[in-house]
Chain A
Amino acid sequence: DAGVIQSPRHEVTEMGQEVTLRCKPISGHDYLFWYRQTMMRGLELLIYFNNNVPIDDSGMPEDRFSAKMPNASFSTLKIQPSEPRDSAVYFCASSPTADSQETQYFGPGTRLLVL
């Protein structure tokens, strides 16, 4: 398996533009997670899905952020409009089950810079 795939790996955009981050989870994994990582706040959970359904989006910072999972093999995280404080590395992770013993497998991340 190729692991969790994210695209793009790097994104530079100007304030006010729309940004779309993409994720392909590991095949067969029922859970998908979006995280944001910054130097100041470390890793933060934004939202997670179970079988394509959003379960908890309490970590989404504000209405400018939205996430979708139209099918089991694809998810997007959209920021509209983007702001400089959104600059961070965004990780997607997946796991087979919700068992707390289960490992989450992380993608390589998308490094976002908003100018």
Chain B
Amino acid sequence: KNQVEQSPQSLIILEGKNCTLQCNYTVSPFSNLRWYKQDTGRGPVSLTIMTFSENTKSNGRYTATLDADTKQSSLHITASQLSDSASYICVVSAPNAGNMLTFGGGTRLMVKP
């Protein structure tokens, strides 16, 4: 069964610090990998999307990396802000699967002042 595993489950950091979230997947074949941010009480919002041929993708202070050989991805947040407090969900899709996605369980990040 295709799976997406994320770590850590939760993380607390101080404002201004950097952090890295991890995602391991077994989806094969693999089409692309996305990172979503979900604020409390709201729907997920797409941060980045990478195909198997891309190694890195940035969106402001968010940088995602992808190693398709080891089936690992990371999301690095630089100079964290209080508004970064949210759940971050790794999502993987397979080719020829339409738009069907496999979701990770998410990492809950809390940024404290």
Residues of A within 8 A of B (CB): 4, 31, 33, 42-45, 48, 50, 55-56, 91, 93, 95, 97-104, 106-109
Query: Which residues in A have their C-beta under 8 angstroms from that of B105?
Result: 42
Whether A48 touches B103, Cβ cut-off 8 Å, given contacts A103-B49, A106-B44, A108-B43, is: no
Whether A100 touches B106, Cβ cut-off 8 Å, given contacts A106-B44, A107-B43, A108-B43, is: no
Residues of B within 8 A of A (CB): 31-32, 34, 41-46, 49, 51, 89, 93-95, 97-101, 103-106
Whether A42 contacts B106 by the Cβ 8 Å rule is yes
With both chains docked as a complex, state the minimum distance between the C-beta of B44 and any C-beta of chain A, in angstroms: 5
Sample of 11 further A-B pairs with CB below 8 A, known A43-B103, A100-B93, A108-B41: A31-B99, A45-B101, A100-B95, A101-B32, A104-B99, A106-B43, A106-B44, A107-B43, A108-B43, A109-B41, A109-B43
Whether B104 contacts A98 by the Cβ 8 Å rule is no
Q: Which residue of A lies closest to B103 (CB)?
A: A43
What are 12 pairs between A and B in contact, CB < 8 Å?
A31-B98, A31-B99, A42-B103, A43-B103, A44-B103, A55-B98, A91-B44, A99-B99, A101-B32, A101-B49, A108-B43, A109-B42
Q: Which residue of B lies closest to A102 (CB)?
A: B99
Q: Which of A42, A43, A98, A99 has the largest count of B CB atoms less than 10 A from its CB?
A: A43
The residue that A95 contacts in the complex, of B44, B45, B94, B99, with Cβ under 8 A, is B99
Once the chains are docked, how many angstroms separate the CA of A56 from the CA of B100?
A: 9
Q: Which of B31, B42, B43 has the largest count of A CB atoms less than 10 A from its CB?
A: B43
Once the chains are docked, how many angstroms separate the CA of A107 from the CA of B71?
A: 30
Q: Which residue of A lies closest to B100 (CB)?
A: A45
Q: Which of A42, A45, A98 has the largest count of B CB atoms less than 10 A from its CB?
A: A42
Whether A42 touches B43, Cβ cut-off 8 Å, given contacts A95-B99, A101-B32, A103-B49, is: no
